[in-house]
Chains A and B, each alone.
Chain A
C-alpha cells in the first residue's frame, strides 16, 4: 500500500473521532459554564431574599414578634421567587410554577429556624368548612412551624429540654429532681463580684476588668456662645429620650424628659434614669444563671441526650444488614463530655469549650435532620414528575457560616442545563441583622475612650487594658 493510501485511511479514521471529541468537550464546557452561571444566579436570588428580609426587619419595630417575622419571611420568599424568575429568564412564571423547582428554603434565626417547603395540610374533615383555605391532605408549599435548636436530656433525676442559640444564651425547660424548671440566660465564666441596684454597690468584674455603668450623652444643641451642650439621653424601646435640665441645671426638681418626633418636642411625664447599668446587669444575671446551671446541670453529659420522643436508644440498620442499637450521642458521634463543665481548662465562652462544641453539634443535627425530611417529602409530593432530588452534602466551611450567623439556605433543582439536570444550593449569611448580637460585637469601653472586644484573647495582660484608668 502506498503512503498516500495510508494517509487517506488514517484521516478517514481520525477526523470523525476528532470532530466528535471536539463537540463533546465543547458541550461539557457549555454545561459547566451554565451550571456556574446558575450557581451565581441562585446566590444572587438568595441575596435578594436576604435583602428583603433585612429591609423589612431592620426598619420594623415589631419584627421580633413571631407573626410579624413570619410575614417578613414570606415576603423574603416572594422576593426570592421573583428574583429567580428574573435571573433565570423565566419572567412571567409565578411562585406556583417555580416552587416545583425549589425543594426547600431554610431561614435560620437566633434560636431556631424556619423551613419553607411543601407539606401535607392536616385538617380533619370535621373542621373543614367551605370557607377553609386548604383541604385536609392538600399539598401546601409554605413555611413550616418554627423549629428550635433544642435537645432533650434524660438522666435518673433530670428530664430537660435545652434550647440553644447562636450565642451562649440557653433556655432550660423540664424537671430537675421532680421540680419543674423554666430558666433562661447567658452562660459566661470569669465573672466575679456582685451588684446590688438598691444600694448601688457594684463589684462586678469580667475577666478581671471592672464593669461600670455609663451615662449616655449627646450633643444636640448649642449655647449662646456657640459651644455644644452635652445632653443626657436614654433609649427605651427604640426611642431616644433627652433630659431637659430646666432653668436650674444643678437641681433635679425641674428635670423633664422629652422625645423628638418629626422635629417636635414631646415632654414625658416619666423620669428616666440617666445612669445606664445594663452592662453590669448583663454580667450579673449571667453570673447567677451560670452558677445555677453548674449546680443543677453540671453533671449532664452529652451521652444523656435522647431522641425527641424521650427514648434513649433507637435501632439502626447497618449497611451490611445487621441491626445495631445506638443512642443519639453514639449515633452522631458526639462523645461523652460534660456539657457545662470544662475538661481542659477552657471557659464556657471559649469556641473550643465543651458547651460550644456540643451546641454546634445540636444545631447542625437539628437542621440536617429536618432539612433532609423536608427534601425527602418534596420528592413524594411533586407527583414523581422530576428526578429524585437528594440533599447535597454541605461542606464544613459552609456549616461554619450557618452555625455562626443568621442565614438563608436555598435549594434549586430540576432545571435542564444540557446534558444534565441542575442541582444546586446557596448559602447567604445575614451580617446586618436585628436577630442576634454576636459575642464579637460586645465591646468594653475604657475611660480613655478606647474600645476593646470583650472576647479578645489578649484583653487581659499584655498591658492591653490594664493600662486604662477606670
Chain B
C-alpha cells in the first residue's frame, strides 16, 4: 500500500520534473527572446519617427510585422502629444515654458491610425513637428506558453497579466513636412 502511494507520487513528480520544468524554462527563454525583439523594434520605430518627423502606415505595418514574428499578438498603443499650432516659442531663445502658450493636445492610437490609413490608394503621412512628443507602448495580449504553464502551477490572473512589454518615447527632433 505504502509503496504504491510512493510510486504514484514519484510518477507525478517525475512528470513535473522531466517535462513541465524543462518546458517552463524553455518557454521562459522564448519570452526573453521575444522581449528582445519587441524592445528593439519599438525603439527603432520611435527613433525613426523622432528623427524624420514622419509617421506613415508603412512604418507602422513594419513594426506590427516585426512584432508578429515573435509568434504572439500585441497591443500597440501610440500616443502623440502635438505642440499647439501657435507655440509660444516665437524665437528659439524665448521662454518656452510660458503659461498659456505651448499647449499640447494628444492624439491616441485610433486617431493616429485614422489619419495615416491610406484611402483610395494614396499613402498618407502624418507630419510631426519639432517639439512634439511621441511614445509607443507595446504589451502582449495573448497568453504565452510560459504564462499558461505558470497559471497551471500557480494561478496568475487578471487583465494586466503580461510578460512581454516595451515602451519608448521622446521628443520629435525634425519637422516632417516638406522633404
A58–B92 touching, CB < 8 Å: yes
- Category for how many chain A residues contact B: 35 or more
In the assembled complex, which residues on chain A have CB atoms less than 8 Å from the CB atom of B50? 43
Q: Decide: A431 and B14 in contact? CB cutoff 8 A.
A: no
Given contacts A3-B10, A4-B10, A29-B32, contact A431 B130 (CB under 8 A): yes
A6 to B13 Cα, complex, angstroms: 12
Distance in angstroms from A335 CB to nearest chain B CB is 24
Q: Is the CB of A36 within 8 A of B40?
A: yes
> When each residue 1-42 of chain B gets 1 if its CB lies under 8 Å from chain A and 0 otherwise, what string results?
000000000110110011001100100110011011001100
A11 surroundings in chain B (CB, below 8 A):
17
Partner pick for B11 among A3, A14, A32, CB 8 A cutoff:
A3
B132 within 8 A of A: no
Does the CB pair B173–A47 fall under 8 Å?
yes
Does A22 lie within 8 Å of B29, measured CB to CB? yes
Q: Is the CB of A29 within 8 A of B35?
A: yes
A373 on interface, CB distance cutoff 8 Å: no
A28–B36 touching, CB < 8 Å = yes
A441 proximal to B (CB < 8 A): yes
Contact flag A7-B39 (CB < 8 Å), given A43-B50, A401-B51: no
The reply to whether A431 and B36 contact each other, CB–CB distance below 8 Å, is no
In the assembled complex, A21 has its CB within 8 A of some CB on chain B: yes
Q: Check B179 against A405 for contact (C-beta < 8 Å).
A: yes
Q: Which chain A positions have C-beta within 8 A of B36?
A: 28-29, 32
Most chain-B Cβ atoms within 10 A of its Cβ — which of A11, A18, A426, A441?
Answer: A18
A58 contacts B91, C-beta separation under 8 Å: yes
Query: At the interface, is chain A mostly helix, strand, loop or mixed?
Result: helix
Q: Which residues of B contact A28 (CB under 8 A)?
A: 36
A86 within 8 A of B: no
Binary interface encoding of chain A residues 23-64 relative to chain B, with 1 for a CB under 8 A from any of its CBs, else 0? 001101100110010011001100100110011001100000
Contact B179 A7 (CB under 8 A): no
CA distance A404 to B54 in the complex (A): 14
Q: Across the interface, do B32 and A438 meet the contact criterion of CB distance under 8 Å?
A: no
Asked if A59 and B17 sit within 8 Å, CB to CB, the answer is no
Instruction: Collect the chain A residues with CB atoms within 8 Å of residue B40's CB.
Output: 32, 36
Tell whether A431 pairs with B53 under 8 Å between CB atoms, given A4-B10, A7-B17, A405-B179.
yes
When the two chains form their complex, are residues A431 and B175 in contact, meaning their CB atoms are under 8 A apart? yes
Q: Least Cβ distance of B169 to chain A in Å?
A: 10
CB atoms of A427 and B51 under 8 A apart: yes
C-alpha gap A14/B33 in the complex (Å): 20
Q: Per a CB cutoff under 8 Å, which of B28, B32, B35, B51 touches A428?
A: B51
Question: Which residues of B (126-146) have their CB < 8 Å from a CB of A?
Answer: 130
The residues of B that contact A51 with a CB separation of less than 8 Å are: 92
Which residues on the B side are within 8 Å of A44 (C-beta)?
A: 170
- Note all chain B residues with C-beta closer than 8 A to A428: 51, 173-174
Report how far A428 CA is from B51 CA in the complex, Å.
6
* B168 contacts across to A, CB distance below 8 A: 36, 40
Q: 1/0 contact trace for B90-131 toward A, CB 8 Å?
A: 011100000000000000000000000000000000000010
Which residue on A lies nearest to B52, using beta carbons?
A: A401
Q: Number of B interface residues, CB 8 Å?
A: 37
Residues of A within 8 A of B170 (CB): 40, 44
Residues of B48-92 contacting chain A, CB below 8 A: 48, 50-53, 91-92
Q: A10–B18 contact, CB under 8 A?
A: yes
Given contacts A43-B47, A438-B178, A440-B178, contact A59 B91 (CB under 8 A): yes
Interchain CB contact (< 8 A) of A59 among B48, B92, B175: B92
Question: Which residues in window 141-176 of A have CB below 8 A to B?
Answer: none
Q: Does A207 contact B (CB under 8 A)?
A: no
Question: Within 8 Å CB of A427, what residues of B?
Answer: 51
A430, B179: Cα distance in complex, Å: 12
A26 to B35 Cα, complex, angstroms? 11
In the complex where A25-B33, A26-B32, A438-B178 touch, is A59 in contact with B10 (Cβ < 8 A)? Answer: no
Nearest A residue to B170 via CB reads A40
Q: How far is the CA of A442 from the CA of B92 in the complex (A)?
A: 23
Residues of chain A contacted by B10 (CB below 8 angstroms): 3-4, 7
* A22 touches which of B22, B25, B43, B52 (Cβ 8 Å): B25
Say yes or no: is A429 at the interface (Cβ < 8 Å to chain B).
yes
Tell whether A432 is near chain B: CB-to-CB under 8 Å: yes
- Bound complex: CA A18 to CA B43 (Å): 29
A440–B179 CB distance below 8 A = yes
The answer on a CB contact under 8 Å between B92 and A54 is: yes
Complex interface: chain A residues within 8 A of B25 (CB): 18, 21-22
CA–CA, A1 to B168, complex, Å? 55
CB-defined contacts of A59 to chain B, threshold 8 Å: 91-93
Q: How far is the CA of A339 from the CA of B172 in the complex (A)?
A: 37
Whole-angstrom distance between the alpha carbons of A28 and B51 in the complex? 27
CB pair B29 A25 closer than 8 Å: yes
Contact call B32/A39, Cβ cutoff below 8 A: no
Q: Which 3 A-B pairs have the closest CB atoms?
A: A431-B175, A440-B178, A404-B179
> Can you name 10 A-B residue pairings with CB atoms under 8 Å?
A10-B18, A14-B22, A32-B39, A40-B43, A40-B168, A40-B170, A59-B91, A397-B52, A405-B174, A429-B52
Interface residues of B, Cβ cutoff 8 Å to A: 10-11, 13-14, 17-18, 21-22, 25, 28-29, 32-33, 35-36, 39-40, 43, 47-48, 50-53, 91-93, 130, 168, 170-171, 173-175, 177-179
**Sample of 4 more A-B contacts, CB < 8 Å, known A7-B14, A22-B28, A36-B168:** A4-B10, A29-B32, A405-B179, A429-B52
